[in-house]
Structure 1
Amino acid sequence: TPVTVLLTDGSRLAGRVKSFDRFSILLESQGQEQLLFKHAIASIAPSPTKAT
């Protein structure tokens, strides 16, 4: 499911949650992976557009 992640600094990331653990979320977007620490995430919502 595509999601939009709002970070505490105000930036937004779109992608698909590939994996998660107790402290982090692995987000896949445009063929690349980004490791996000949960303390830096303000919110996660379903994305209205399809993430690749």
Structure 2
Amino acid sequence: MPLPKSATPSRQAENLDVFGFALTGEEMAAISALTKADGRLFDGDPNTHEEM
């Protein structure tokens, strides 16, 4: 989970407003299309893939 950081009170308020938007059905479909049927984002095998 990302932890937003700011020293400016107005930016802190903006960071807390996580429910101040809505996604359209088209945007949701575009996000859903990024993943494969098994939930992976690419062909990496979780048993052998190393990030670093």
Whose helix proportion is higher, 1 or 2? 2
Scaled by the length of structure 1, what TM-score is found?
0.18
Question: RCO greater where, 1 or 2, for CA within 8 Å and sep 6 or more?
Answer: 1
Rg larger in structure:
2
Scaled by the length of structure 2, what TM-score is found?
0.18
